[in-house]
Chains A and B, each alone.
Chain A
Amino acid sequence: MIAEGIRKAFRTASGEEAVLQGVSFALAPTDHVAILGASGSGKTTLLRILAGLERADAGRISLDDDDITDWPPERRRVVYMPQDALLFPHLSALENVLFPLRVQGISDADARERARPLMARLGLDAHAGKRPDALSGGQRQRVAFGRAILASPRVLLLDEPFGALDHAARSEMQSVFLDVVVEQSLATLFVTHDPGEALRIGTRWGHLAAGVLHLFHDREAFVTADRTGIPQERSFWASI
């Protein structure tokens, strides 16, 4: 995926507020780009534009050789996973996971066959028949993740997906996530406000502030850049 010069501004009572100011990046097929940014830095808007859920004021998005800037979300195969799992409340955990396969017209038996190993891999076997309101936060995220994987996305966009989980569940989900995306050779763009999570998940890193994206091409550059706040955090912990 290549994004070039993405711009977006929102109208507010006090005038126009620029949220993204010419964001550009390239995402290789097996890249895991972790973008660090504080609340209000434009992370969610960027992901929504890439997924086709919002229109950019300017810029171009291409995927493989297609210009997908004006494509509707359902045509892009770019799956967006927000912080709250947003499971379909009337469907069971398994039915949620099967949703993208049913959309593709795959028969129920085939869909279940394809979902079985993934359900086991995500530890959801025992919860397959449960409705979302009967699942824990971690289980709901696993279901949302399984559903996203079975959509066979060309790019998976994750918007602080583990932000609402407790420390243990979060750490466990990060491990599962890494194992599965590596196994499936997925390209992912992962936004977070947690430097530790960005370091654990990413193979490349970026920092978004005030709508401007700064990319780092190696881990050392990322952890030593003042703009990320990581050096300050490290010195804080070292001082204790």
Chain B
Amino acid sequence: MKRILSVVMALFPVVLLMGLTVSWVDGWPTLARWSVLGQSGIPVQEGLWTSAGVALVVAAISTILGAGTARAMQASRWRSVLMPLAWLPWAVSPVIAGILFMVVYLRAGIDGTVLSVMLAHLVFSGAYAVVLMDGFWRRDVARLEETGRTLGASGSHLFAHVLWPAMRRPLMLVFAQTFLISWFQYGVTLLVGAGRVQTLPVLVFGFVGEANVYLAAMASLLLVIPPMLLLWVTRNEWTT
């Protein structure tokens, strides 16, 4: 029963958006309107690839940097000073941060580029990855490493047989969460991308502003499906 309920709840927004993208007016619903995705001048397809590329790169870099930084911070005497810094991007409103980035990028001459958007997303996703991985390293991991060492394990053996198996799951969760942060980022992308970097959230807001319900629903559907697939693939990691 719980399973059925969760599937229904998960599919509800998809069905709703799907309903908005098919034509009910001229007879039986068809997917005819989806053909606009292939037409030139409607940048939904390009927005999908831009969003996917940015989110994947940001999530990968955030996960690696977050794991390494959080690990280094455990041994640092400055941990109590550094940890609040990791929370700072979230304490500042993304829009305000976006304006700050915009000024910096304008001076650096990289405003309105995919690179500038990635760098801005990295500040939020990377900081969040540090916070999440800090929780992982603070558990018994260091003591398990010590145990392994007194049992004779070298650095490479420890990594392969103790650290990596313990890290795999948290890394997957950090990757999924940082992917979602970047994927749904709107305010910062709009400001830093200067309207030239068209990710899916930017397009959705644009279509909504134009009262273009069909395209807004279509782009929203594309925006919702990949995260739902990601949640589905990693479902065991979230629930155990």
Contact = CB atoms under 8 A, between A and B. Distances in A.
A102 interface: yes
B147 interface: yes
A18 interface: no
Contact of B150 (A73, A89, A102): A73
A104 B165 CA distance: 19
A167 interface: no
Q: Which 3 A-B pairs have the closest CB atoms?
A: A73-B149, A90-B165, A100-B151
A102 to B, nearest CB: 7
A102 B162 CA distance: 12
B150 A80 contact: yes
Given A80-B147, A100-B152, 16 more contacts: A52-B149, A52-B150, A53-B150, A72-B149, A74-B153, A74-B154, A82-B147, A86-B140, A88-B147, A88-B165, A90-B165, A90-B166, A91-B165, A100-B151, A103-B161, A147-B151
Contact of A73 (B146, B161, B166): B146
Contacts of B166: 88-90
A103 B153 contact: yes
Contacts of B140: 86
B143 interface: yes
11 contacts: A73-B149, A74-B153, A74-B154, A77-B152, A79-B150, A86-B140, A88-B161, A99-B148, A99-B161, A103-B153, A151-B151
Contacts, number: 60
B144 A86 contact: yes
Interface of A: 51-53, 72-74, 76-80, 82, 86, 88-91, 99-100, 102-104, 147-148, 151
Interface in B182-207: none
B236 to A, nearest CB: 14
A192 B143 CA distance: 20
A51 B146 CA distance: 10
A55 B64 CA distance: 30
Nearest to B169: A90
A104 B152 contact: yes
B33 interface: no
B206 to A, nearest CB: 47
Contacts of B151: 79, 99-100, 103, 147-148, 151
A88 B162 contact: yes
Give the one of A52, A99, A148 with max B CB within 10 A: A99
Which size bracket describes the interface of B in this complex? 10 to 19
A40 to B, nearest CB: 19
B157 interface: yes
Contacts of B157: 103
A52 B149 CA distance: 9
A103 B157 CA distance: 7
Given A88-B162, A102-B161, A103-B157, A74 B152 contact: yes
A79 B152 CA distance: 9
A99 B149 CA distance: 11
A78 B150 contact: yes
Interface string B126-148: 00000000000000100110111
Contacts of B143: 82, 86
A99 B162 CA distance: 10
A77 B151 CA distance: 7
